[in-house]
Structure 1
Amino acid sequence: MQDPTLDRSFRGHKDVITDLAFKPSMTQIASGSMDNSVMVWHFKPQMRAFRFVGHKVTSKKHGPVTSVDFSPSGNLLASASRDKTVRLWTPNVKGDVTVFKAHTSTVRTVRFSQDGESFLTCSDDKSIKIWSTQRAKFQYTLAGHLNWVRSARFSPDFKMVVSGGDDKSVKLWDLTSKNCVKTYFDHTGMVTSTAFHPAGTIVATASTDRSIKLFDIRTHKLIQHYHDAHVGAGPASDTKGGESAWAGGGPNSVNFGGPGGNWLISTGMDGVVKIWDLKEGHLFYTLHGHKNGPTTAAAFSPEGAFFATGGSDAQLMVWKSNFDAGVPLTADDTGGKYHFLVPINLLKMIISSIQDKSRPRHASSPHRANNAILLLCGTSSNNHCQSNS
Structure 2
Amino acid sequence: MELAALVALTALLGALVVLVGLALGRRKEELREEAEQEAELAAEGSAVKGPSAKRPKQEKQRSRKEKAPQHTFSHPLLAASLKGHSGNVTCLDFSSNGKYLASCADDRTVRLWSTKDFLDREHKCLRANVELDDATLVRFSPDSRAFITWLANGDTIRIFKMTKKEDGTLMFKAAPDDFPVRHKAAILNVGIAETGKYIMSASSDTSIHIWDLKGELLASINTNQITNSYAAISPCGRFVASCGFTPDVKVWEVCFGKGGEFKEVARAFDLKGHSAGVHAFAFSNDAHRMVTVSKDGTWKLWNTDVEYKKQQDPYLLRTVPCGSSEGSRVALSPDGRVVAISDGSSVAMYNAANGELEEELHGVHHGKITDLRFDVNGRFLACSGDKAIRVFHNTPGYRAAIRDMEDMLKKAQNEGMKQRLKQQITEAQTALDSVLGSFIE
TM-score, L = length of structure 1: 0.69
3-state secondary structure, aligned to 2:297:
coil
3-state secondary structure, aligned to 2:287:
coil
* Aligned mate of 1:155, from 225, 228, 234: 234
Residue by residue over 1:106-139, the C-alpha shift from the partner in whole angstroms, topping out at 9 and shown as x without a partner, is 2211122222232211112411122222x23321
**Separation of aligned partners in 2, 1:111 and 1:94:** 19
Does the aligned pair in 2 maintain the 1:256–1:300 contact within 8 Å? Answer: yes
Does the aligned pair in 2 maintain the 1:24–1:74 contact within 8 Å? Answer: yes
The alpha carbon displacement at 1:17 in A equals: 2.6
The alpha carbon displacement at 1:350 in A equals: 6.9
Identify the residue that residue 354 of structure 1 maps to in structure 2: 413
3-state secondary structure, aligned to 1:111:
strand
**Separation of aligned partners in 1, 2:348 and 2:227:** 26
1:309 maps onto 2:383 in alignment: yes
3-state secondary structure, aligned to 2:370:
strand
Does the aligned pair in 2 maintain the 1:207–1:251 contact within 8 Å? Answer: no
Does the aligned pair in 2 maintain the 1:165–1:191 contact within 8 Å? Answer: yes
3-state secondary structure, aligned to 2:296:
coil
**Separation of aligned partners in 2, 1:283 and 1:226:** 9
**Separation of aligned partners in 2, 1:207 and 1:19:** 21
Identify the residue that residue 53 of structure 1 maps to in structure 2: 130
Label 1:210 to 1:117 Cα distance change in 2 as closer, same or farther (>3 A).
same
**Separation of aligned partners in 2, 1:196 and 1:55:** 34
**Separation of aligned partners in 2, 1:108 and 1:267:** 17
**Which 5+ residue runs of structure 2 have no aligned equivalent?**
1-15, 21-74, 163-169, 256-263, 307-312, 417-441
Amino acid paired to 2:331: N
**Separation of aligned partners in 1, 2:288 and 2:221:** 21
Does the aligned pair in 2 maintain the 1:105–1:123 contact within 8 Å? Answer: yes
Residue by residue over 1:292-323, the C-alpha shift from the partner in whole angstroms, topping out at 9 and shown as x without a partner, is 32222111111111221112x32101222243
Label 1:160 to 1:180 Cα distance change in 2 as closer, same or farther (>3 A).
same
* Aligned mate of 1:255, from 331, 340, 365: 331
Amino acid paired to 2:143: S
Identify the residue that residue 111 of structure 2 maps to in structure 1: 39
Residue by residue over 1:251-308, the C-alpha shift from the partner in whole angstroms, topping out at 9 and shown as x without a partner, is 62111115x2211122122x21111111122211112362432222111111111221
Identify the residue that residue 198 of structure 1 maps to in structure 2: 285
The alpha carbon displacement at 1:75 in A equals: 0.8
**Which 5+ residue runs of structure 1 have no aligned equivalent?**
57-62, 232-248, 328-339, 358-389
The alpha carbon displacement at 1:204 in A equals: 1.5
Residue by residue over 1:176-203, the C-alpha shift from the partner in whole angstroms, topping out at 9 and shown as x without a partner, is 4523343445344443322112232222
* Aligned mate of 1:230, from 314, 323, 326: 323
Label 1:119 to 1:221 Cα distance change in 2 as closer, same or farther (>3 A).
same
Query: Which runs of structure 2 are paired with 1:120-135 in the superposition (5 Å)?
Result: 120-133=200-213, 135=214
Amino acid paired to 1:88: I
Label 1:129 to 1:288 Cα distance change in 2 as closer, same or farther (>3 A).
same
Label 1:216 to 1:85 Cα distance change in 2 as closer, same or farther (>3 A).
same
**Separation of aligned partners in 1, 2:389 and 2:226:** 31
Query: Which runs of structure 2 are paired with 1:245-284 in the superposition (5 Å)?
Result: 249=325, 252-257=328-333, 260-269=335-344, 271-284=345-358
Range with greater deviation from structure 2 (69-78 or 163-172) = 163-172
1:318 maps onto 2:391 in alignment: yes
3-state secondary structure, aligned to 2:142:
coil
The alpha carbon displacement at 1:37 in A equals: 4.1
Does the aligned pair in 2 maintain the 1:162–1:195 contact within 8 Å? Answer: no
1:89 maps onto 2:156 in alignment: no
* Larger Rg over CA atoms: 2
Q: Give the structure with the higher percent helix.
A: 2
Amino acid paired to 2:103: S
Label 1:198 to 1:73 Cα distance change in 2 as closer, same or farther (>3 A).
same
Label 1:296 to 1:268 Cα distance change in 2 as closer, same or farther (>3 A).
farther
Label 1:158 to 1:315 Cα distance change in 2 as closer, same or farther (>3 A).
closer
Label 1:46 to 1:280 Cα distance change in 2 as closer, same or farther (>3 A).
closer
Identify the residue that residue 293 of structure 1 maps to in structure 2: 367
Amino acid paired to 2:222: A
Amino acid paired to 1:230: G
Range with greater deviation from structure 2 (218-227 or 41-50) = 41-50
Identical aligned pairs, as a percentage? Answer: 22
**Separation of aligned partners in 2, 1:320 and 1:171:** 32
Amino acid paired to 2:148: A
Label 1:14 to 1:263 Cα distance change in 2 as closer, same or farther (>3 A).
same
Does the aligned pair in 1 maintain the 2:108–2:130 contact within 8 Å? Answer: yes
Identify the residue that residue 383 of structure 1 maps to in structure 2: none
The alpha carbon displacement at 1:325 in A equals: 7.7
3-state secondary structure, aligned to 1:175:
strand
Identify the residue that residue 190 of structure 2 maps to in structure 1: 110
Does the aligned pair in 2 maintain the 1:80–1:86 contact within 8 Å? Answer: yes
1:71 maps onto 2:165 in alignment: no
Does the aligned pair in 2 maintain the 1:37–1:55 contact within 8 Å? Answer: no
Does the aligned pair in 1 maintain the 2:282–2:331 contact within 8 Å? Answer: yes
Identify the residue that residue 335 of structure 1 maps to in structure 2: none
Q: Give the structure with the higher percent strand.
A: 1
Amino acid paired to 1:263: V
Identify the residue that residue 24 of structure 1 maps to in structure 2: 96
3-state secondary structure, aligned to 1:324:
helix
3-state secondary structure, aligned to 1:25:
coil
**Separation of aligned partners in 1, 2:358 and 2:372:** 16
The alpha carbon displacement at 1:156 in A equals: 4.3
Does the aligned pair in 1 maintain the 2:279–2:326 contact within 8 Å? Answer: no
Residue by residue over 1:222-245, the C-alpha shift from the partner in whole angstroms, topping out at 9 and shown as x without a partner, is 322222x225xxxxxxxxxxxxxx
Does the aligned pair in 2 maintain the 1:15–1:35 contact within 8 Å? Answer: yes
